[in-house]
Amino acid sequence: MATPKSDAAPSISLAEYTSPALVVPQLAAEDAAAALRELSFVLHADGRVSEPTRFCQEVIDRESRCSTALDFGVAFPHARTALAAGLCFAVGRSRRALSWGAGGVACVQLVFLIAAPIAEPVAYLKLVAALARWCDDPVALTRLKTAASAGDMFSVLTGRRSRSNSGDAF
C-alpha cells in the first residue's frame, strides 16, 4: 500500500466511518433530493440512522439553508441529528451530474451523506475536514469516479489496494 502524501492525508481514518455497504457506485436518483433519499435508506439499512425519511428531510432542510456542493463535482450534505447511531457517511456516485443547490447551478457526481450525532460536534468537524482534504486530491477523486464497484470505491476511499485491480496502489 502506498503511503499518502502527509499534506493530503486525513488526520482520521475514513474507514472508521463507512463500509462497503455504505458505498453506492451507481445512484438510481435523477436529482439531488432523490440522491439524499437513496443514501438515507442505505444508512438506515446498515443500522446507521433510524427514521430515514425524517433524517433525509433534516438533510434537505440543512441543504436549503446552505448548499454543500463544491466546484469539483462533490457535495457533503449532512445533518447533526438524534437519528444517527454514530458518526458515519455513505457515498454515492451518479453517472451524470446532478443539479445541486439553490437554482441547481452546481453539478455533482459524488455525494458524501454524513450522519452526525448531536453530541459529537468535534469528531463531525474532523470528518468533514478529512473528506474535504481527501477530495482535494485530483488523482484520488478520479479513481473514485471511475472505480468499477462498491468494493473498489471503498478501497480507493480508505487507501487500500483493490482486489479487482491489485496492480494499482492507492
Closest residue by Cα to residue 154 from 89, 71, 58, 69: 89
pLDDT of residue 104: 66
Indicate the residue type of 86: G
pLDDT of residue 11: 58
Q: How far is CA 115 from the centre of its chain?
A: 10
pLDDT of residue 47: 98
Indicate the residue type of 125: L
Does CATH place domain 19-156 in 3.30.360.10? no
Q: Write the burial class of residue 7 (CB in 10 Å: 0-12 exposed, 13-18 middle, 19+ buried).
A: exposed
Helix (H, G, I), strand (E, B) or coil at 38: helix
> How far is Cα 49 from Cα 81, in angstroms, rounded to an integer?
9
Q: Record the cell numbers describing residue 88, joined without a space.
A: 458515519
In a structure prediction context, what are the per-residue pLDDT tens digits for the chain, which is 170 residues long? 344 444 444 457 899 999 999 999 999 999 999 999 999 999 999 999 999 999 999 999 999 999 898 888 999 999 999 999 999 999 999 998 999 977 666 799 999 999 999 999 999 999 999 998 898 899 999 999 999 999 999 999 998 644 443 333 32
Closest residue by Cα to residue 53 from 36, 68, 70: 36
For the entire predicted model, the pTM comes to 0.86
pLDDT of residue 103: 67
